[in-house]
Amino acid sequence: MCKKSLFILIIAGITAAATILLKSESARSQVRDNVNRGMAAAKNKTKQDEDKYLNEKTGYSDPQDIDDNKMVSEGAVNSVQYFNNTQESGEEPVKSTHKDSSK
């Protein structure tokens, strides 16, 4: 009976400490970052590995990647529909904030 009571007391203490320590958003953010770093270390993945994958994936739509092609086609249709709707309603389309250096 003593071991069971001690176990419950330890669990209650850990729970109380976690509740107090994770009260603020910054503390939760730090814990989340540390857990993510630990998971990446356990999987032997580095930031450079992830960046390499994203750089290969960005801007290239592989013909065999159905999900990626669907996303690209939906994005193209969405922008055309937006432009057509603004033209029909007589509104001015939203201008880009990107400064064109060719002018």
Tens-place pLDDT, residues 15-40:
988 888 788 888 888 888 888 888 88
Q: Using alpha carbons, list the distances in angstroms from residue 15 to 22, 27, 31, 62, 85.
A: 10, 15, 15, 48, 54
- The Cα 91–Cα 100 span in angstroms is 23
- The Cα 103–Cα 28 span in angstroms is 47
Confidence tier at 9 by pLDDT (50, 70, 90): very high
Confidence tier at 12 by pLDDT (50, 70, 90): very high
Give domain limits for the chain. 24-86
pLDDT at residue 93, as a whole number = 66
pTM value surpassing 0.75 = no
